[in-house]
Amino acid sequence: MARGERGVTPQSEDFSSWYNELVTKAQLVERGPAKGTMVIRPYGYRVWELLQAELDRRIKDTGHENAYFPLFIPESYLKREAEHVEGFSPELAVVTHAGGKELEESLVVRPTSETVIGEMMAKWVSSYRDLPLLLNQWANVVRWELRPRMFLRTTEFLWQEGHTAHADEADAMRETLQMLDVYTEMARDIAAIPVVPGEKTPGERFAGAVKTFSIEGMMRDGKALQAGTSHYLGTNFAKAFDIQYSDDAGVLRLCHTTSWGMSTRMIGGVIMTHGDDKGLVLPPKLAPYQVVIVPIARGEQTDDVLEAVRELATRLKAAGIRVHVDDRPQVSPGFKFNDWELRGVPIRLEIGPRDLAAGTALMAKRLGDEGKTAITLADAPETLADALEDFQQYLLQRAMDFRESATTTVDSWSEFTEAVATGWARTLHCGQPACEDEIKAATAATPRCIPADGPAESGNCVCCKAPSAYGKRVLFGRSY
C-alpha cells in the first residue's frame, strides 16, 4: 500500500508528522472547525469510553461520587485565588456578551473546576460529619492553545476531575497519593504504559497547589508525557471560598482540599507509546476491536465461510472478546490486512475454505516475530483470550524496556545534555526555578518529577553546582 494512500511517515523520519497523519488516517480524530478543537470519531471515542469505564469504576471503588458542575464560571470566582487565576489567565476563554447584551460580569468557560466546586463545598460542608467530601466530574474543559496537537493539547478536551475536602492535611495527602496510585495502575494495567509517579518541583506545580504529583510516561521519541496529575491544595481554596467545618469540639476549621485529573491526552499517550511505522498498536484492554476476522473465499465457497466466521464471532462475543467481522466485498483481503494493521487491532484472524476444512484459523498478532499461527476453531475463545493477555503484557514490557534503555543516570552537564537529547536523565538538582529555566533554555528539558521510589542521595546540582534540594535524583526530559 502506498504511503500517500493510507500509510504514514516513518517515526525515524519525522515523529511529529507520523503522529499527525496517524490520528486522522486511523480514524481516531479530525480537526474541528474552530482552531485547536477536535472531532473525536467513533473509533477514537470508543477508546476513550473503554478507558473512561475502567477509570470510573476505580474512582467509585475508592468511595467517590460523580456530580456535574456548570461550564460557565463567574470571572470573580477565579480571582479569589490569586495563584490560580495568574496561572490560568493566558489560557482562558471569556464570554463577555450573551443574549445580545454585554454581561454585567464576564463568564469564564471552564478551564478546571476548583473554584465553582469550592463554592459548592462551602455550602455542603458544615460539620466534621460531612467529611471527607469525595466528588468527581466527567466533563469538557477549555484552555486556549497556541500550538494545538490532537489529543495532546487541544483548546477543548474531555477529562475527569476529582475534587475532595478533608478535615486535615494527613487525610488530604492520603487522598492525593491514593489517586496518584489509581492513575499509575490505569496507565500500567489498562494502557500498558509504564509510568514514573512522583512529585513535581515547585516550578512545575499546579497553580494554587501546595504539592503536585504526576505520572510520567516515555513516548517512542524519548519525550515525556504527563499522563495524570494529583494535587494537594492545602487550605488555599478553603480560605478563598470559606470552606469550613465545625470539629467535634465545636471549633471552626478550614478544610484541606485536593483535585486530580486524567484526560483524553491518555489516548495520545497510547498512540505514541506503542505505535510504529505501520500505524497504531492498541493494547487489548483499550482496543475497540480486540480481534478482527477476515473471511477469505470466492464464489460458491463464500456462504459456507461467512456462516462459519459469524458463528465463531458469536462464540467470541459470548466469551467477552470484542470482535469484528470484516466482510466488505468491495476491497481485497490484502487491503483489509493493511487497514486493520494501521488501525492497531491486536489480533487478526483469517479463515478460508482450507482453514474451515481443517477446523482452524490463521492468527496474526499486530506485533511479534512469530508470524501467522494456526489455531483450532473449537478452542478459539480460550486461545484468543490467552493471546490477548500475552499481547497486553508484551506491550507493557516492550515499553518498559524502551524507557529503561533511554533513561540515564548522569552527574555532569555534558552527560545531561546528551541524555535529554534522546531520552531522560536522572540527576541531582538544586530546586531553584531560575536554574530550571536555564536548563530549559539550553536543552528544552524540564524536571518531570521527583520519582516516588527514588533512593536517597545527596550531592550537587548538575547545572549550577549548588547543593541538591530533594534528597534524591530528579527526572528530566523534553516533554509534550
pLDDT tens for the chain, residues 1 to 480: 334 456 899 999 999 999 999 999 999 999 999 999 999 999 999 999 999 999 999 999 999 999 999 999 999 998 888 777 787 888 999 999 999 999 999 999 999 999 999 999 999 999 999 999 999 999 999 999 889 999 999 999 999 999 999 999 999 999 999 999 999 999 999 999 999 999 999 999 998 999 999 999 999 999 999 999 999 999 999 999 999 999 999 999 999 999 999 999 999 999 999 999 999 999 999 999 999 999 998 888 899 999 999 999 999 999 999 999 999 999 999 999 999 999 999 999 999 999 999 999 999 999 987 789 999 999 999 999 999 999 999 999 999 999 999 999 999 999 999 999 999 999 999 999 999 999 999 999 999 999 999 999 999 999 999 999 999 999 999 999
The identity of residue 453, as a single letter, is: D
Nine-digit cell string for 272? 505514541
Which of 451, 5, 45 has the alpha carbon at shortest distance from 218?
Answer: 451
287, 324, 326 from 372: Cα distances, Å = 20, 19, 18
Cα 55 from Cα 61, distance rounded (Å): 10
Cα 83 from Cα 340, distance rounded (Å): 48
What does 296-327 look like in DSSP terms, one character per residue? ---GGGHHHHHHHHHHHHHHHHHTT--EEE--
Residue 72: other Cβ atoms inside 10 A: 14
Nine-digit cell string for 402? 524502551
What does 216-227 look like in DSSP terms, one character per residue? EEE-TTS-EEEE
For the whole model, what pTM was predicted? 0.95
Nine-digit cell string for 4? 500517500
**3-state SS of 393-438?**
HHHHHHHHHHHHHCEEECCCHHHHHHHHHHCEEEECCCCCHHHHHH
Q: Which helix (H) or strand (E) holds 65?
A: strand 65-66
Phi-psi label, residue 428: left if phi above 0, alpha if psi -120 to 50, beta otherwise: beta
Helix (H, G, I), strand (E, B) or coil at 296: coil
| pLDDT value of residue 6 | 65
